[in-house]
Amino acid sequence: MKIGKLPENVLIRSVLRQVKHRREEVLVGPAVGQDCAALVIEPDEALVMSSDPITGTVKDLGSHSIHITANDLAAAGAEPIGVMMTLMIPDTVEEPEIREIVQDVERACAQLDMEVMGGHTEVTNVVRQPLISITGVGKIKKSRLTTVTQIQPDQDIVVTKWIGLEASTILAKEREAELRRRFPAGIVDTAMSFDQLLSVIPESKIAVEHGVTAMHDITEGGVFGALWEMANGAGLGLEVDISKIPIRQETVEICEYFGVNPYQIMSSGSMMIATDEGYELVRKLEKAGIHAAVVGRTNSSNDRILRNGEEVRYLDKPQPDELYKVLG
């Protein structure tokens, strides 16, 4: 395609017609010549916003980008409303692929009751593959807005579902043929299906109703990175039992094959929660069909301690995500 803005007929046919209006808060949505979106908000509500570019994968790019941004909003306790989407496309991409990406975005938005409120699409030679950047908008009652600065000593640390879900599904899709030569089909198929577990909105809703101090979506840098960020943001120490951190065997197998650390790899789909009543929250989550575990506690020191049986070590500052060692 030619460098520059998408031709108007392509924009209408393969972008604007693919996205639907479903949120009453959105007063002005995407249209030709429309550069801004508009939202209505109640006096006792706050808007919560988050922005993410997706660069680690090209498979399921659209839906992946929506889940990552929606998870950030959910980690603040907010209800996601919609997104502004910037899509940068190399000139080697043709219109059907653009339409497929936007349809993938729309499917995820429909699943999460969100909508595309606007954005920008452009063909450019400064990218080598489609690049999508999402700014998400959510709403929350002002009294329920949480941040990691509110975490206190002697609170439980809960991890939901299993770490490494995001990286496992990305690797299973990006390196499918290679993995199928090494593993039984069931392991690869199951890892590919982890994309159905990437949303943390269900556990966020339960956690908000339960009453938690803060939540943190476990993304780039994995669970070790998330532990450091939570402790650093709160200005506290913590002690965590590595053996209690939930992880699927499929993730273990795939990470061992590629020689990467599953505790330092992208883990969207898993939420880290600080709360006074961690075991009660786990019980509520399990009742709703969401696996979870208490993995440790915060403390008033500056020490960030990891225990694994008799082995004790200190948590390091976040390292580059292990997924990049495989995908570059």
Instruction: Give the separation between CA 171 and CA 322, rounded to whole angstroms.
Output: 11
Give me the mean pLDDT over the 39-63 stretch: 86
233 with 162: CB under 8 angstroms? no
pTM greater than the 0.75 cutoff: yes
pLDDT of residue 56 exceeding 70? no
Residue 238: which of 313, 153, 309 has the closest Cα?
153
Residue 81: which of 42, 24, 17, 16 has the closest Cα?
24
**Helix/strand/coil percentages in the chain, nearest 5:** 40, 25, 35
CA distances, 152 to each of 16, 182, 286 (Å): 46, 46, 25
pLDDT digits (tens, 9 = 90+) for 123-156: 999 999 999 999 999 999 888 888 888 999 999 9
pLDDT digits (tens, 9 = 90+) for 260-286: 999 999 999 999 999 999 999 999 999
CA angle 154, 213, 297 (to 5 degrees): 25
Q: Name all domains of the chain by residue range, CATH numbers in brackets.
A: 4-142 (3.30.1330.10), 148-327 (3.90.650.10)
Instruction: Give the separation between CA 268 and CA 252, rounded to whole angstroms.
Output: 16
